[in-house]
Amino acid sequence: MNFLKNKLTKKMTTLAFAGALMLGITACGTDNDGATGSSTQGVTDTTIRIGNSVATSGALAPVGVPFQAGLLAYIEMVNQGGGINGRLIEYIHQDDGFDPATGIAILEGLINDDEVFAIVGHFGTPVIGATVPMLIESGIPSVYFAAGTGVVYNENALPGQGHNLFPVQPVFPMEGRIMAAVAKGEFNASRVGVIFTNDDAGLDLIGGIAQEAEEIGGLEIISAQVAPGADDVSAAVLTVLAADVDMVIIASIQGTFPQIARALANHGNTAPVLTSYVNVDATMTNLVADDIGTQYQLFGTAWVDVDLLVSSPFGQWVNQVHNDDFSANAFAMTGWIAGSFFVEGLRRVGSNELTWESYISAMEQAPIRNPFGGYIDFSNGSRVGTQEMMVFAMDRNDPTGWTMFMPMRTMAEILGN
């Protein structure tokens, strides 16, 4: 398979990416705004040591293995080019098996024993949820979280309160805000029904939707909740449809999305429906397309422009090293993105002294470009993840099941501001 020439493969990768990742420290010194930890650990004249905890065994191995490979490939590319300011990057990976207790132990070892400079590519909602308080307490820079959990969302992070965390991929509260902007700016909706699951993903999404609706003005939200994985969601669907809404948002992940999508069709919905990027893939299309038919149009967000992969270093790595193994693998791309964001901070520090403080300051200097997408702005304590998204429309006539509806845009662009 030729990754760079196969257009269908590129498009499938976009859609796979859309649904890819639904997924007390004691150290030496107290010189990082009062947090425990050493702000210069892991740095020598010739090396920078980083680490992470990624599930490369067990049920999540099909996600963790390519993610880890993509991150490692980016680091190797940088090292082969001479590193950053004469320093090569040493990368320590350990397998937590997607177990929070194991993840806690691994991070304690990475920070206290291995004394890594940063955690790069932290993986999986349960492990992230269990370890974020430790990361904040330590003050260690932590770049890229492979999950949409709102635990890393912060609009104004301060020292000692999460300013050392740098989420990159879509975080559900921010995606919810973008969804509200899409409803208003792209669909001219004034009354939106939101069916959300009563779990972290659904609550984060509805929270972001409600927040942005209030800020935008002129957007009424009618919401109804369902239990995660519920088979019968009719009551919530009927509540929303009874309000004569202009649009419906399905604020849930894969386990409940199909039931809601089918129920909307069964109960006669004709309003356009928007869902999360995690549901925009061929698997979900196959589960709901027959039921939806032409009853209503289904849309979903996305955060990566696969056309940017053409002739990119990532595409070259795939062709030269792995070819069929990772040619259409969204998870390998996310690992690559994690590496690129971490290294950009190092480049910005330049020849200045490399410390946690100087690194965090460098990450906040100006927006950073996702190599396959839009910019992320960490300035002024903004820790909200991806701030630019696309919208795809389900299309049964397309081999992938989805086609582009709206290109990559910021909320301001979506709203015409």
Per-residue confidence at 312, pLDDT binned at 50, 70, 90?
Answer: confident
CA dist 98 and 64 (Å) reads 9
What integer best gives the mean pLDDT of the chain? Answer: 88
Per-residue confidence at 4, pLDDT binned at 50, 70, 90?
Answer: very low
Q: Is residue 93 predicted with pLDDT exceeding 90? A: yes
The yes-or-no answer to whether 7-170+306-386 and 173-302+389-414 have a common fold is yes
Per-residue confidence at 311, pLDDT binned at 50, 70, 90?
Answer: low
- Across 34-56, average pLDDT: 86
pLDDT digits (tens, 9 = 90+) for 193-241: 999 999 999 999 999 999 999 999 999 999 999 999 999 999 999 999 9
16-30, 101-115, 155-169, 265-279, range with the lowest pLDDT: 16-30
Check residue 387 and report its DSSP letter: -
CA distances 276 to 45, 108, 143, 218, 393, Å, are 45, 34, 23, 23, 12
What's the pLDDT at 350? 95
What's the pLDDT at 397? 83
Cβ neighbours of residue 93 closer than 8 Å, sequence gap 6 or more: 51, 52, 54, 56, 68, 72
- Across 374-379, average pLDDT: 95
Which CATH number is associated with domain 173-302+389-414? 3.40.50.2300
Cα 337 to chain centroid, rounded = 10
What stretch of H or E contains 196? strand 191-197
What's the pLDDT at 411? 95
Burial 207-235 (b: 16+ CB within 10 A, else e): bbbbbbbeebeebebbbbbbeeebeebee
Strands (E) in 258-398, as ranges, are: 273-275, 298-302, 368-369, 375-376, 388-394
Cα 367 to chain centroid, rounded = 17
11-15, 23-27, 268-272, 332-336, range with the lowest pLDDT: 23-27
Q: Is residue 23 predicted with pLDDT exceeding 70? A: no
What's the pLDDT at 53? 95
Per-residue confidence at 282, pLDDT binned at 50, 70, 90?
Answer: confident
CA dist 390 and 404 (Å) reads 8
CA dist 101 and 186 (Å) reads 44
pTM of the model: 0.87
* Cβ atoms 253, 277 nearer than 8 A: no
Cβ neighbours of residue 385 closer than 8 Å, sequence gap 6 or more: 148, 152, 153, 167, 168, 169, 170, 171, 174, 175, 376
Which CATH number is associated with domain 7-170+306-386? 3.40.50.2300
- Across 60-78, average pLDDT: 91
Per-residue confidence at 55, pLDDT binned at 50, 70, 90?
Answer: very high
Look up residue 392 and give its two tokens: 């795809």
What's the pLDDT at 326? 62
Cβ neighbours of residue 230 closer than 8 Å, sequence gap 6 or more: 256, 259
What stretch of H or E contains 414? helix 411-414
Judged by DSSP in three states, 117 sits in coil
37-41, 145-149, 174-178, 256-260, range with the lowest pLDDT: 37-41
Cα 160 to chain centroid, rounded = 23
Q: How many residues does the chain have?
A: 417
Q: Provide the residue ranges of all domains of the chain, joining segments of one domain with +.
A: 7-170+306-386, 173-302+389-414
Strand partners, 194: 223, 249
What's the pLDDT at 104? 97
311-315, 358-362, 412-416, range with the lowest pLDDT: 311-315
What's the pLDDT at 241? 98
* Cβ atoms 342, 122 nearer than 8 A: no
- Across 121-139, average pLDDT: 95
Q: Residue 187 CB: number of other CB atoms within 10 A? A: 17
